[in-house]
Structure 1
Amino acid sequence: MDKIKVLVVDDHPMVLEGMQAMLSQIDFVQITGLARNAYLAMEDIKTAIPDIVITDINMPEISGVELTAKIKKEYPSVKVIAMSTFNERSLISQMVQQGASGYLLKSASREQIEEAISTVSRNKLYMSLDLELSNKEQDEMSKLPVLTSREKEVLSLIAEGFTNSQIAEKLFVSPYTVDSHRKNLLTKFDVNNTAGLIKLAAKYGLV
């Protein structure tokens, strides 16, 4: 069986060392690199495309959320596992929304890391048990729609209470285009009205 190639991204050297030590004990894992920030991570990916990137969420300059979006755009086949010290549902939702396949707390044991890599490599969603997400929440997260950058802009402005005409003016597009984005958002979130859209988006920390 081919080894699963893993790149770890974190701005704390101690975390990188700890992850390297734990990953080196997992026989089906091959570490392709350890990166201290998103820029170095993208360079490493260009050099040797990993199967999985395990990245910290809270990093200076470019966050794990932005890095995940960039990875999924440029290397769709690369899977991402988010890692954080924070047990925050909104951050997890943002990561999943950008295409992350899993979430680990930094306090995770080697067994949990091993399980996360194994689960994600089988195209399944892995969420740390420490999160204590209900099955319903996990199921809902896995169904979170993927939005374009323009749809996110429109969603944010809708949540702020702007009308189609006002949004069109701000984004330099026609009201017809905004209306089209609004309808797409309602479809993607499977809701019937703007109130339902904002409620669901707020629940997952998207606005």
Structure 2
Amino acid sequence: MSNIKIAVVDDHSLFRKGMISILEQVSGFEVVIEATNGLEFLNKRQTTHVDVVLMDLQMPELDGTKTTAIIKEKYPSTKVLILSMHDEDKYILHLMEIGANGYLLKDSDPEEVEKAIKKVHETDSYFSDFVSKVMLRKMTRRNQQEKKIFNYKTDLSEREIEVLKHICEGLTTVEIGDILSLSPRTVEGHRLRMIEKLGVKNTAGLVAFAIKNQLV
């Protein structure tokens, strides 16, 4: 199996160098791009393939939010894992909507960063326990009084809604299949159809949809 090719994009030199040092000790990881901002990363990305980008949010020249949107437009197969000091729901939900594959706080343990990189590379999305259990509940409460952006009852079947709820719980395709007595292939088919129906970019976008429509 080939190494997971990683980019680290952060304008804080100490954090960036420290993260690279940690990642280079992990078997199967290869840091191929180091950049201080989004513009520098995009210039280097033109000649270097990247599987997973570790992305800071607040950077000069081009920030993490705008860079993520450009990556998803130009390199849709590249996974973006946000590393940020911000734990506010507005950052997390917006980044999910524009296509970020995961969100970690910068004080996360190295083991969790390693797990997150592997997860987004293999299964499209990763959200830390903090994000999934605390922030998503806050976002749901915040949106209870807002107008729903979709009429999900007409957009999605009852089975698709069931699958979506389990996706939001962080269950794997196999685990969802076991609960609903479906094959993993059928579960994956439901996931892909929901992405197409709702016009979102990935699994994280499905989670954002579920939050805005109070399904979780």
Query: TM over 0.5: same fold?
Result: yes
Mapped to 2, the partners of 1:120 and 1:52 lie a distance apart of: 8
Identity of aligned residues (%): 32
State the 1:114 CA deviation.
0.7
What is the TM-score with the length of structure 2 in the denominator? Answer: 0.62
In structure 1, list runs of 5 or more residues that go unmatched: 141-158, 160-184, 193-199
Mapped to 2, the partners of 1:90 and 1:77 lie a distance apart of: 25
Number of the residue aligned with 2:121? 121
1:58-73 matched pairs, under 5 angstroms = 58-73=58-73
Residue by residue over 1:171-192, the C-alpha shift from the partner in whole angstroms, topping out at 9 and shown as x without a partner, is: xxxxxxxxxxxxxx944x6389
Structure showing greater radius of gyration is 1
Mapped to 2, the partners of 1:70 and 1:135 lie a distance apart of: 25
Mapped to 1, the partners of 2:92 and 2:103 lie a distance apart of: 7
Number of the residue aligned with 1:173? none
Q: Give the CA RMSD over aligned residues.
A: 2.9
What is the TM-score with the length of structure 1 in the denominator? Answer: 0.65
Does residue 74 of the first structure (1) align with residue 74 of the second (2)?
A: yes
Tell me the number of residue pairs that the alignment of Structure 1 and Structure 2 aligns. Answer: 151
Residue by residue over 1:25-67, the C-alpha shift from the partner in whole angstroms, topping out at 9 and shown as x without a partner, is: 1111100111001110101211212001110012234221110
What amino acid sits opposite 1:190 in the alignment?
A: Y
Number of the residue aligned with 1:91? 91
In structure 2, list runs of 5 or more residues that go unmatched: 141-145, 155-207
Mapped to 1, the partners of 2:74 and 2:132 lie a distance apart of: 32
Number of the residue aligned with 1:42? 42
Seen in structure 2, the aligned counterparts of structure 1 residues 90 and 186 have a Cα distance that, compared at 3 Å, is closer
Does residue 108 of the first structure (1) align with residue 111 of the second (2)?
A: no
Mapped to 1, the partners of 2:28 and 2:89 lie a distance apart of: 30
Number of the residue aligned with 1:190? 152
Mapped to 2, the partners of 1:116 and 1:48 lie a distance apart of: 22
